[in-house]
Amino acid sequence: MKEQQGELSELVSVIIPCYNIADSIEKLSAVFNQTYTNLELVLVDDCSEDDSWQKIQAFKQEHSDKNIVICRNDCILGIGPTRNRGVALSSGSAVYFMDADDELEPDLVEKMLGKLRQDQADFVHCGYSSHCGNTVRNYSIDKELLEATDITELKKLAFQFNSAPWDKLVARDFIEQFGIEYPALYSGQDQCWSIQLVLNARKISFVNEILYHQLSDNSLSVSCNEKQVQSLFDLLEFDYQYIKEHVQEPDVSSVLLTRWQMYALEHILSLYDRLAVPLQKQLALLSRDYFQQHGIDLKGHNLSFSYIFPVYRFIPNTQKFQQLRARLKYNNKLYSLMRKLSAIINIVELVTKEEEAKAKKAAKAAERKNSSKS
């Protein structure tokens, strides 16, 4: 490859966190089928319960002609801190994460690294496909991201970036300059990583091609339990505080905090639908308290879009009024989600009060019964 013999001869680190991947070990050798060959493969085992570590060691020995770094955590750290350790162990001037079960297009590194250096970007973002049974869905880069005219506009769209790390190649010096790393959350670490990348970037570039193939079913990897409920609020708080502390431009901060509300509402309601009833009640009450702490009135937006539509439909659908129309539709969706969550909270509050009243009544009855016996 000409570029590799010239300017693009730098080392690229491909980092794979490993947990119970014994059945996927042989697939890892596919990394070395990339058209860009100056690669370092970093495998970090997070205390697998199967024989993954033994197979990782054997894999390194079998491919002694390749640049492979392996290590095993002393205790289970979780996927975020395990990725951090992979970065610390790596030596490449660019960093790329992938999952052990997934597949890369042979020219992924070549195309993304070429774009990274050509545009002097901090990271490059590509499209991906998701495979579930016989269903394959292709996800190109969001149209709004591609049409953004500058980095300020891209930062306003931070929540529209796919949060997964495997569609991004990141410059190492960028990671180190801004101290970007995964927080130790139960889940949702990818979103925290993604927002750090976007909000600190000076230049973001895109390769609008499907270069990564997600074969593993990550949707089932985290159970919907009490830890998942708390972790969602940890994630939301991380994003909220990061925006408040790292975004200096008032207009960008204002847009991001509004989009953060939308992100929060969508994820709370999505999680609510997947929980058992006791955890649904817990999530609803935690949501009420959380939004109150941040001064967000869920009940203050009762205006239905049906009142706005008579005005909306007369706004010309032209370039001049495109932003106004989009803002009205966006606010309608935001307020609709607020009303939905507010209604859920109202029902939960009523049920909780009834349960508390019944419990008090039962306690008093038991007390009277005990008194009469004595």
pLDDT at position 219 is: 44
pLDDT at position 221 is: 44
pLDDT at position 5 is: 40
- State the pLDDT confidence band at 229, using cuts at 50, 70 and 90: very high
Q: Tell me the average pLDDT across 336-346.
A: 89
Q: Which of 2-11, 22-31, 81-90 bottoms out in mean pLDDT, i.e. has the lowest?
A: 2-11
Residues 6+ apart with CB under 8 A from 318: none
pLDDT at position 336 is: 84
152 SS3 class = helix
Rounded to whole angstroms, how far apart are CA atoms 320 and 331? 19
For 48-68, the pLDDT digits (tens) are 999 999 999 999 999 999 999
Q: Is the pLDDT of residue 306 over 60?
A: no
| In the chain, % of residues over pLDDT 70 | 87
Q: Which of 101-110, 195-204, 262-271, 345-354 bottoms out in mean pLDDT, i.e. has the lowest?
A: 345-354
- State the pLDDT confidence band at 108, using cuts at 50, 70 and 90: very high
- 96 burial level (CB within 10 Å; 0-12, 13-18, 19+): buried
pLDDT at position 374 is: 62
70 and 41 in contact (C-beta within 8 Å)? no
List of E strands, 133-249? 135-139, 168-171, 204-214
pLDDT at position 303 is: 53
Instruction: Pull the structure tokens for residue 243.
Output: 């925006």
Query: Where is pLDDT greater, at 318 or 156?
Result: 156
Which CATH number applies to 6-220?
3.90.550.10
- State the pLDDT confidence band at 198, using cuts at 50, 70 and 90: very high
- State the pLDDT confidence band at 354, using cuts at 50, 70 and 90: confident
74 SS3 class = coil
Task: Concatenate the DSSP letters of all residues of 253-278 into one string.
Answer: HHHHHHHHHHHHHHHHHHHHHTS-HH
Rounded to whole angstroms, how far apart are CA atoms 368 and 374? 10
98 and 212 in contact (C-beta within 8 Å)? yes
pLDDT at position 373 is: 67
* HSE-CB for 340 with a 13 A CA cutoff: 15
pLDDT at position 266 is: 95
Q: Is the pLDDT of residue 167 over 50?
A: yes
Query: Where is pLDDT greater, at 74 or 297?
Result: 74
The length of the chain, given as a count of residues: 374
| In the chain, % of residues over pLDDT 90 | 72
Could you give phi then psi for residue 135, rounded to 5 degrees? -95, 130
Query: Where is pLDDT greater, at 180 or 222?
Result: 180
Q: Is the pLDDT of residue 272 over 80?
A: yes
Rounded to whole angstroms, how far apart are CA atoms 75 and 87? 18
Q: Is the pLDDT of residue 309 over 60?
A: no
Work out the number of other CB atoms within 10 angstroms of the CB of residue 269.
15
Instruction: Pull the structure tokens for residue 229.
Output: 């409920």
Q: Tell me the average pLDDT across 69-91.
A: 97
Quote the distance between the C-alpha of residue 148 and its chain's center: 21
Rounded to whole angstroms, how far apart are CA atoms 338 and 332? 10
Residue intervals of the chain classified under CATH 3.90.550.10 are: 6-220
Query: Where is pLDDT greater, at 219 or 337?
Result: 337
Q: Is the pLDDT of residue 15 over 60?
A: yes
What rounded mean pLDDT belongs to the chain? 89
